[in-house]
């Protein structure tokens, strides 16, 4: 009863993105298997697998084919995504597994094709004879034709959504879902929070360079330490001239900006170049003109 239901199950088309994801998962698995296999030979002489690398890879891919396509009609990537191959050459719309001939030709086209490509590259790269060079040109021409056919097949796949690879189209094998796809209830609260914080972070990245942090810092300092009702007596001027209003140290090359406060030349010049609308952090006066402190006043300060 269960077998009859399995044979009568309807075929569900597979999304393009699912088929491409399955191909990427297959490539990732092959890289993982090869890296794990080569790690077993780290203690041996370097290059011990260099001469037989195509054959070793072909043997590993043969094992993968045996336990995936041959036994389950699906690659590892397809099995993860609930996909399997269907014999598209059959006249019925019901699911039909791959025939043995299709499985064997799949092995020849995938594993055998890659082995032949790697072995031919190693063979012709070490020989410079004229006859060999002609054969190499013919092989390169054939490989170019196959790549063009693969590109055309991929464009057709993007349009129709079937046969993601040239091998699938030649053998007439189609990707279908193993089980009917049910509608999933997805909560979007987490996604909404991520989108909100992502947008807020992008807004801050855009806004922070526009904020004059130095000017804001000086403004806050002027609010926290206000100086009002400044007298014009000589004592007050002397107190102002002894300390730079920016760094709080003895002013080096003292300059003024038109108010009763004094600044180091490098302090006021750097701040003015950074902010054209710089104001005095003590009294809020704008920079009218940057002038050095008068010589007599400076000498008076030294004696005081």
Q: pLDDT for 217-275, tens place per residue? A: 766 766 765 544 444 444 455 455 677 878 877 777 888 887 778 888 888 888 878 77
What stretch(es) of the chain map to CATH 3.30.40.10? 240-297
pLDDT digits (tens, 9 = 90+) for 86-143: 888 887 778 888 999 999 999 999 998 888 888 877 776 666 656 667 777 888 888 8
Q: Are strands 173-177 and 83-87 parallel, antiparallel or unpaired?
A: antiparallel
Cα 175 from Cα 149, distance rounded (Å) = 20
Six-digit token pair at 151?
């590109």
Interatomic CA distance for residues 177 and 87, integer angstroms: 13
Which of 54-68, 207-221, 240-254 is modeled with the greatest confidence? Answer: 54-68
β-strands 83-87, 255-256: how paired?
A: unpaired
Look up the pTM and report it.
0.55
Residue 67 CB burial class (10 angstroms; 0-12, 13-18, ≥19): exposed
| Fold adopted by 240-297 | Herpes Virus-1 (3.30.40)
Q: pLDDT for 159-185, tens place per residue?
A: 998 899 999 999 999 888 877 665 555
**What six digits make up the tokens of 69?**
């396509």
Mean pLDDT is lowest, of 21-30, 81-90, 277-286, for 277-286
């Amino acid at each position: 009863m269960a077998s009859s239901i399995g044979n009568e199950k309807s075929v569900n088309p597979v999304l393009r993105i699912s088929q491409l994801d399955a191909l990427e998962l297959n490539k990732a698995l092959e890289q993982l298997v090869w890296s794990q296999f080569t790690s077993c030979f780290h203690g041996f002489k370097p290059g011990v697998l260099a001469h037989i690398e195509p054959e070793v890879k072909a043997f590993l891919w043969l094992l993968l084919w045996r336990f995936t396509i041959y036994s389950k009609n699906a690659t590892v990537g397809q099995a993860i995504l609930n996909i399997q191959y269907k014999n598209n050459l059959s006249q019925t719309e019901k699911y039909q597994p791959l025939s043995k001939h299709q499985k064997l030709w799949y092995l020849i086209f995938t594993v055998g094709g890659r082995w032949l490509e790697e072995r031919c590259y190693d063979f012709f790269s070490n020989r410079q004879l004229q006859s060999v060079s002609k054969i190499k040109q013919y092989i390169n021409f054939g490989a170019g034709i196959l790549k063009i056919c693969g590109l055309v097949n991929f464009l057709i796949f993007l349009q129709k959504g079937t046969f993601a690879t040239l091998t699938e189209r030649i053998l007439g094998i189609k990707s279908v879902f193993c089980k009917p796809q049910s509608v999933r209830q997805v909560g979007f609260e987490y996604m909404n929070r991520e989108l909100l914080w992502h947008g807020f972070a992008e807004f801050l990245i855009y806004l922070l360079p526009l904020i004059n942090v130095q000017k804001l810092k000086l403004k806050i300092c002027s609010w926290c330490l206000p100086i009002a009702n400044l007298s014009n007596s000589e004592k007050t001027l002397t107190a102002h001239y002894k300390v730079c209003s920016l760094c709080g140290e003895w002013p080096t090359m003292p300059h003024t900006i038109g108010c009763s406060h004094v600044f180091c030349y490098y302090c006021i010049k750097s701040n003015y170049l950074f902010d054209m609308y710089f104001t005095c952090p003590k009294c809020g006066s704008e920079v009218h003109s940057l002038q050095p402190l008068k010589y007599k006043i400076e000498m008076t300060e030294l004696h005081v």
